[in-house]
Chains A and B, each alone.
Chain A
Amino acid sequence: MSDLAPATDRRDRPVAPAVPTTGVTPAPVQSPRARATERTIGVLALVGTAFTVWLGLWVTPPDRTQGDLVRLVYLHPGVAWVALYLAFGLAAVSSVLYLWPRTRSLFWDRLAAAAVEVGVVFNVCTLVSGSIWGKPTWGVWWAWDARLTLTAVLLVLFLGYLAIRRVPAEPEVRARRSAFVALFAVLDVPLVHFSVNWWNTLHQGATVLNPGLTLKIHGSMAWTLLLGFVALTLAFVWMLLVRYRIGVLEDWLDANELGAALVERRSEGAGASAGAAGSAPIDPVGVA
């Protein structure tokens, strides 16, 4: 029997090797089609955002009551839409799909993690743009208004989600834990949405997603607002794809780095002992 034959015990059953055979599993490869799709979405997002900025700053007229400040509205509801509804909504759906035994897969966990990270960035943009709009309109950078406060709470909750993911644990444990946190955090989204209807708030009512779904903005201003929504949605999709890919690579490295290090270490050890055998006749452990 040669050294390459599978190891067997006395009952001729295969014995699992104590270490991985090669140390690494096949690397995750992104198909050219996926790469092309990602690039196309990225370019469309860039062009759409550039058009929104051009229309918002130079083409659309000032508002009758808000004056030029309305130009900030072409971005602010768009980033809020991406953060609250797209990103955190997707994170909630993915978390449910992970927790559901029939659909349980780390794919949903990675997708939720990617959506939350991108959503947190958009949530920060929402708060910052709202604050910059609030200073000249309300006279203050921040007010403890129901919508503003609940949006800030939402940011803290999802920062907590990202912190929970950093706690060392097995991938399945981390995924289950994170899914529960996401489902808890997302309960704040309907509170943020309906806060302007339920409480007497400083923040204005919804322009698009109001109870009657009637657009309260018209003409070129409406088109610019809607283009902003589309452009920022495309930007979100692009970021989500790239962030998901990062998750795949991180998981692969977590699973394979140890194996590769072991292989490398063993090879170094073999090289060193071969070198020692060739150059020095000393055998410190008495193997030779």
Chain B
Amino acid sequence: MRYIVAGYVVILSLLFLYSVQLVWRRRRLARAVARVVAAGAGHEGPTVGTLPAAGGPT
């Protein structure tokens, strides 16, 4: 019976740990995306990335 219990414990633990790791990875990435979006929105000024018009006032 110990082999059976070991088999169930090993398989279910592997699947459970992988699932937890997936959720943790997704949460970490979602936080990183939110940080980048906040950084982009927070520093988005009217002149950022806009080149001055050729011959126009600078």
Which A residues are within 8 Å of any B CB, using their own CB? 1-10, 15, 17-24, 27-28, 49, 53, 56-57, 68-69, 71-72, 75-76, 79, 118, 121, 124-125, 128-129, 132-133, 135-136, 235, 238-239, 242-243, 245-246, 249-250, 252-253, 256-257, 259-260, 263-264, 266-267, 270
Known: A28-B33, A118-B18, A246-B22. 8 other contacts (CB 8 A): A4-B46, A21-B48, A76-B7, A128-B11, A242-B19, A246-B29, A249-B33, A253-B33
Tell me how many residue pairs across A and B have CB atoms closer than 8 Å.
Answer: 153
- Give the residues in chain B near A49, CB-CB below 8 Å: 12
Q: How many residues of B contact A (CB 8 A)?
A: 43
Closest-by-CB residue of B relative to A250 is B29
In the complex, the answer to whether B53 meets A1 with C-beta atoms within 8 Å is: yes
In the complex, the answer to whether A8 meets B53 with C-beta atoms within 8 Å is: yes
In the complex, the answer to whether A17 meets B49 with C-beta atoms within 8 Å is: yes
The proximity string for B residues 1-41 relative to A, scoring 1 for CB distances below 8 Å and 0 otherwise, is 10110111011101100110011011001101110110111
Q: Dominant SS at the B interface?
A: helix
In the complex, the answer to whether A24 meets B37 with C-beta atoms within 8 Å is: yes
Bound together, the chains give a CA A1 to CA B55 distance in angstroms of: 9
- Give the residues in chain A near B1, CB-CB below 8 Å: 68
In the complex, the answer to whether A22 meets B49 with C-beta atoms within 8 Å is: yes
- Give the residues in chain B near A238, CB-CB below 8 Å: 19
Closest-by-CB residue of A relative to B18 is A121
Contact A9:B39 (CB < 8 A) given known A125-B11, A267-B45: no
- Give the residues in chain B near A71, CB-CB below 8 Å: 4, 8
Counting chain B CB atoms within 10 Å of each CB, the highest count among A21, A24, A235 belongs to: A24
Bound together, the chains give a CA A2 to CA B1 distance in angstroms of: 81
Bound together, the chains give a CA A79 to CA B7 distance in angstroms of: 12
B29 to chain A, nearest CB (A): 4
Counting chain A CB atoms within 10 Å of each CB, the highest count among B23, B42, B48, B56 belongs to: B48
Contact A1:B50 (CB < 8 A) given known A128-B14, A246-B25: no
In the complex, the answer to whether A239 meets B3 with C-beta atoms within 8 Å is: no
Closest-by-CB residue of A relative to B5 is A57
- Give the residues in chain A near B32, CB-CB below 8 Å: 249, 253
- Give the residues in chain B near A118, CB-CB below 8 Å: 18
In the complex, the answer to whether B3 meets A135 with C-beta atoms within 8 Å is: yes
In the complex, the answer to whether A53 meets B48 with C-beta atoms within 8 Å is: no
B45 to chain A, nearest CB (A): 7
In the complex, the answer to whether B56 meets A1 with C-beta atoms within 8 Å is: yes
In the complex, the answer to whether B40 meets A242 with C-beta atoms within 8 Å is: no
In the complex, the answer to whether B3 meets A69 with C-beta atoms within 8 Å is: yes
Bound together, the chains give a CA A39 to CA B51 distance in angstroms of: 47
Contact A124:B36 (CB < 8 A) given known A3-B46, A246-B29, A263-B44: no
In the complex, the answer to whether B36 meets A253 with C-beta atoms within 8 Å is: yes
A65 to chain B, nearest CB (A): 16
Contact A257:B54 (CB < 8 A) given known A129-B11, A239-B22, A250-B29: no
- Give the residues in chain B near A133, CB-CB below 8 Å: 3, 7
Partner of B49, one of A19, A79, A235: A19
